[in-house]
Amino acid sequence: MTPLRSTLIRMNSSMNRWILIFAALAAMASAAKSDKKIVCYFGSWAVYRPGDGKFDISYIQPNLCTHLIYTFVGISEQGDIRVLDAWQDLPDNWGKDAFGRFNKLREQSPETKTLIAIGGWNEGSARYSAVVGNPTLRARFVQNAVDFVLKYNFDGFDLDWEYPNQRGGKPEDIQNFVLLTKEMKEAFQKHGLILSAAVAAAETSASLSYDIAQISKYLDFINIMAYDLHGAWEKQTGHNAPLYPRKGESGNDLKLNVDASVRYWLDSGCPPEKLILGVPFYGRAFTLADKSQTGLGAPAKGPGAAGPYTREGGMLGYNEICDFFKQGGWTVVRHEEHRTPYAYKGDQWFGYDDVISLTEKTKYINSLNLGGAMLWSIETDDFRGNCGEKYPLLKTLYAGLRGGVPVEPPKDPEGKPDPESTQRPTQPPVTAPPSGVCKKEGYVRDEKDCGVFYLCQNVNGVYQPQRFDCPGGLAFDPEINACNYKNLVPGCN
């Protein structure tokens, strides 16, 4: 062997080792990011909504969710599990078999896990307190939960008791809930089943209900409901899910934001990788007492008008909100401290989350190495694409936490997924913001692309731009500091 050839072989060998090292590092980084959970709750009653609000299980794109949770079933005084809508949920007596169709979504996305949730706000707390506080009934309930999950072919069970030691509960609920999670975990492990819970987020409520360090030992992941932090039960406007507090807040109000809630759970012993940050796909709405006072903390005289789909005063799905914006006349304000928007028109006011605020929340999740995001709920996203691309909020979460948006599987004429299709994530190219784009703090549109805009922030005297992209087909409208239809944005037709 010649010296030159020997040198080339050594060089190639060294290069190959470095290539393998870099590949391994890249794979590790990708794996770390892809471990983030996207937990999608589905409100099954949305099948009864009118018009464009009506939602069918077939509309779900399961490859956008790592976990899908069907809501809700209930509990009886004897610890049995109650199916709340047998005709909709079950196949018996010519029923619509929603459980079966929901679990069949895994054929399109085999990595997605499905769970059934018990409880919810309307179920209250008293029956859960009575059953879980009785060792015999608690054991019966645990076995019923295992049997139910196996019978209907779910991958796991989600506890949504709202809330221990509140709403008709008692102080012993706190430790009884620990016992429940411990006994359920032991029973579920035998079958490889998942156990999760939806919990109150803010310290003001969570401190009354949970021994956080103990339940964290037994739950596979914990969905903190970091929304409904303000709403029309108050006499002044407040944002549904602010990321950070704002000036002028004091006392408990300083705890009613996402950051304070997350840090309370972490400081109380919840491992960050088990903590799933809940985000709302809806807003909380108020009727203003004085049309001239339109900011946060403005006097309110009651809930905002009900939307055409959700038909609940004081609450608007994101699909309803984006439809309202299409009609025009709304003023949108992006609150710099809360990092979330609100809007008003006449005496109507609502605070909500959009693509921009959820992008910030995904960065927040990544910065604290939390386990992922949970959303309530999938059927109030713009699932029809009436305002642009389908599922803009869900795709924002996926892109921010898992590195790209999966391609929607093509469908054959019968509406079934194509088994030969791939669901490769598509990562958009990253381009640096142009130099000099920031002249002051706030939002600015890209001069060459109406669909691109930047958030300019003053960092140690230097303006730092952060790039954002509007969903497909939309343009950034500086008049409302939000994405809008191009034909409504001057200069972007």
Ranges of each domain in the chain: 34-286+352-405, 442-488
pLDDT of residue 156: 98
The answer to whether residue 422 scores a pLDDT higher than 80 is: no
Average pLDDT over every residue of 107-116: 98
| CA 54 remoteness from chain centre | 20
Q: How many CA atoms lie within 13 A of 101 on its CB side?
A: 16
Pairing mode of beta strands 442-445, 452-459 = antiparallel
H/E segment holding residue 71: strand 67-75
Q: Specify whether domain 34-286+352-405 bears CATH 1.10.1060.10.
A: no
User: Tens digit of pLDDT for each residue in 16-48?
Assistant: 443 333 334 334 444 444 699 999 999 999 999
pLDDT of residue 409: 42
The answer to whether residue 7 scores a pLDDT higher than 60 is: no
| More confident position, 474 or 177 | 177
pLDDT of residue 484: 72
User: Tens digit of pLDDT for each residue in 285-323?
Assistant: 999 999 999 999 999 999 999 999 999 999 999 999 999
Q: Sort 69 into a burial class: Cβ within 10 Å, 0-12 / 13-18 / 19+.
A: buried
pLDDT of residue 206: 98
Is 337 among the residues known to form the active site?
Answer: no
Pairing mode of beta strands 282-288, 300-303 = antiparallel
Q: CA geometry: angle at 221 spanning 220 and 223, to 5°? A: 150
pLDDT of residue 432: 60
Above pLDDT 70, what percent of the chain? 86
Amino acid at 45: W
User: Tens digit of pLDDT for each residue in 333-353?
Assistant: 999 999 999 999 999 999 999
Of the listed ranges 238-242, 381-385, 420-424, the least confidently predicted one is 420-424
Question: Average per-residue pLDDT in the chain?
Answer: 87
pLDDT of residue 476: 84
The answer to whether residue 163 scores a pLDDT higher than 70 is: yes
The answer to whether residue 118 scores a pLDDT higher than 50 is: yes
CA-CA distance, 352 to 343, in Å (whole number)?
A: 8
Candidate list 107, 111, 162, 408, residue with the active-site label: 162
**What are 130's two structure tokens?**
């009575």
Average pLDDT over every residue of 200-228: 98
142, 162, 405, 406 from 471: Cα distances, Å? 44, 35, 12, 15
pLDDT of residue 459: 65
How many CB atoms lie under 10 A from the CB of residue 367?
A: 8
Assign 473 a pLDDT band (cuts: 50, 70, 90).
low
Assign 406 a pLDDT band (cuts: 50, 70, 90).
low
